[in-house]
Amino acid sequence: MSTVARVEPGQLDPSKDVTFASDPDLWFEQKFEENMKKREENRTPSMAIVVTKGSLDWAYPPFILASSAAALGWDVELFFTFYGLSLLKKDLDLGISPLGNPAMPMKMPFGPEWFKNINWNIPNAVSSNIPGFEKMATGLMQQTMANKGVATIEELRELSLEAGVKMIACQMTVDLFGWEMDDFLPEVADWVGAASFLPTAKDADVTLFI
């Protein structure tokens, strides 16, 4: 009597086709693995990001990640809530606060290279007592980014939209801060609450909270 060798799932050799007549169970296993492999290869990865911060330094991570993922062909959705919702306004006026941000390096955008490479770590006790310090820090950061060829938030936001990134606004935040829908970009895809976005975050391959 001839016997058919059993092969564990995941160890099937696709070059050796098993017929239904010779071993129905093994045939089903082989076809299942082949179909699952094709499905995985054809599936589009997805990313969901909850955007909660609206300062200049914190605006970069979500837009850089979103535009990069979209450029790779991923489906990307951003949910802007609380202070992060201000990143969807038509007119951006973003600043930086060194207060409570000890890891933030202060860079000088002018002078010789050795001078520009110095990290000026200014204590909170000093920066908090200098009038206009936050505005100065914002200007220095913007000029340093421009010198390094870093795109502005407006440019990254436009790139993300052009790449098909879906931007969703938190309706509760709009009501909370008394904002009007006309204050925001017309490209906002939807105005919903957290409960409507949670299924998207649950099913995404990558979910981030920034």
Say whether both 25 and 87 belong to one domain: no
User: Is there a single domain that holds both residue 26 and residue 50?
Assistant: no
Question: Do the Cβ atoms of 87 and 54 come closer than 8 Å?
Answer: yes
3-state secondary structure 36-98: HHHHHHHCCCEEEEEECCCCHHHHHHHHHHHHHHHHCCCEEEEEECHHHHHHHECCCCCCCCC
Provide the β-strand partners of residue 204. none
56 and 113 co-located in one domain: yes
Same domain membership, residue 180 and residue 125: yes
Please give the biggest Cα pair distance in the chain.
Answer: 94
- From first to last of its 210 residues, the chain has per-residue pLDDT tens of 444 445 454 444 544 565 655 666 676 677 667 766 766 666 689 999 999 999 888 999 999 999 999 999 999 999 999 999 999 999 888 887 766 666 666 666 666 776 666 666 665 545 555 666 667 677 777 777 787 788 899 999 999 999 999 999 999 999 999 998 899 999 999 999 999 999 999 999 999 999
CATH of residue 153's domain is 3.40.1260.10
Question: According to the model, what pLDDT value does residue 186 have?
Answer: 92
Q: How far apart are CA 185 and CA 88, in angstroms?
A: 6
Are residues 156 and 125 located together in one domain of the fold?
yes
92 with 37, same domain: the answer is no
Q: Is residue 154 part of a domain?
A: yes
Both 24 and 95 in one domain: the answer is no
In a domain, 148, yes or no: yes
Domain contains 134:
yes
Residues 109 and 22 in one domain: no
Whole domain around residue 149: which residue ranges? 46-209
Same structural domain, 103 and 28: no
Inside any domain, residue 3: no
| 5 falls within a domain | no
The answer as to whether 130 is a domain residue is yes
Residues 140 and 194 in one domain: yes
pLDDT of residue 1: 45
Sheet with 190-192, edge to edge strand ranges: 190-192, 166-170, 75-80, 46-51, 206-209
The verdict on 120 and 196 lying in the same domain is: yes
| Count of domains for the chain | 2
Q: Does one domain contain both 32 and 60? A: no
Domain assignment of residue 100, yes or no = yes
* CA–CA gap between residue 45 and residue 52 (Å, rounded): 23
Q: List the structure tokens of 59.
A: 């605006």
- The pLDDT of residue 135: 75
In a domain, 198, yes or no: yes
Total-model pTM: 0.70
